[in-house]
Structure 1
Amino acid sequence: MHRSRVYALLIDAPRDEADQSTSFWSAALGVPARTYDPEPQFTNLHDALPGLVLAVQAVDDTPRFHLDIETDDVEAETARLVGLGATEVTRWQECRILRAPGGHLLCVLPVESAPEVFDAEAKTWS
């Protein structure tokens, strides 16, 4: 048995356009932008989506949106989603990058939110 929840929505922007994208979304949503210190390719758009993280991610790829799903068992959640039809694309640090049916990317990562938030909002899977 494990638990998971949607943790974040990421706005993936080509690296050379990420600053402009961040400025746009920060102004459009009326929220401050803060670089995430441990991983500078992420810029959080603080409090834009109550209960979720919204961030711009500088990528070496095309623009898109993707979801991050946090879990207390990355392997079990990855297996659950693969069983539903996703395919594993790659791994980055402790994260698993998957492609859902329809082509959308999503990431499965260890719990990032505060324990009380995860405990209150995560779904339990058997």
Structure 2
Amino acid sequence: MHRSRVYALLIDTPAPEADQAATFWAAALGATARPLPSEEQFISLHGALPGVIAAVQAVDDSPRFHLDIETDDVEAEVARLVALGAVQVSQWQECRTLRAPGGHLLCVLPVETDRETFEDEAKTWP
């Protein structure tokens, strides 16, 4: 058995437009835009979605939304999602990027939230 939960909603935006997109989404969602100094491609949208991290991510690709799913067993969660029809498209460190049926991207990563939040909110999978 393993556990997983939605960790973040990322608003992927072409890099030259990321600051403008963060300003827009912060105002639209009543959030505060905060650059993440340790990860320059992300601008956090603090307070946008209760219980879920929201951020603008500067990318060298088309604009889109994607979900990050955190789990206590990356291999098991990837296998579960692949069995449901997703296809793994890349891997970066421990993070796996998958494409779901319909074309949407999602990332599977090790637990990022504090252990108490994860234990309270994660779903258990066989």
- Same topology, TM > 0.5: yes
Partner of 1:30: 30
Identity of aligned residues (%): 72
Partner of 2:119: 119
Question: SS state of the match for residue 28, structure 1?
Answer: helix
Spell out the pairing of 1:1-126 with structure 2 (5 A cutoff): 1-126=1-126
Q: Which runs of 5+ in 2 are unaligned?
A: none
Cα deviation, residue 93, structure 1: 2.0
Amino acid at match of 1:61: D
Q: Which shifted more, 35-44 or 101-110? A: 35-44
Q: Distance between the aligned counterparts of 1:113 and 1:35, measured in 2?
A: 19
Q: Distance between the aligned counterparts of 1:63 and 1:97, measured in 2?
A: 16
Amino acid at match of 1:65: F
CA deviation digits over 1:9-68, x for unaligned, max 9?
000000111111011111222211111232110111001100000100000000000000
Question: SS state of the match for residue 68, structure 2?
Answer: strand
Question: SS state of the match for residue 44, structure 2?
Answer: strand
TM-score, normalised via structure 2 length: 0.97
Q: Distance between the aligned counterparts of 2:28 and 2:5, measured in 1?
A: 27
TM-score, normalised via structure 1 length: 0.97
Q: Is the 8 A contact 2:29 2:48 kept in 1?
A: yes
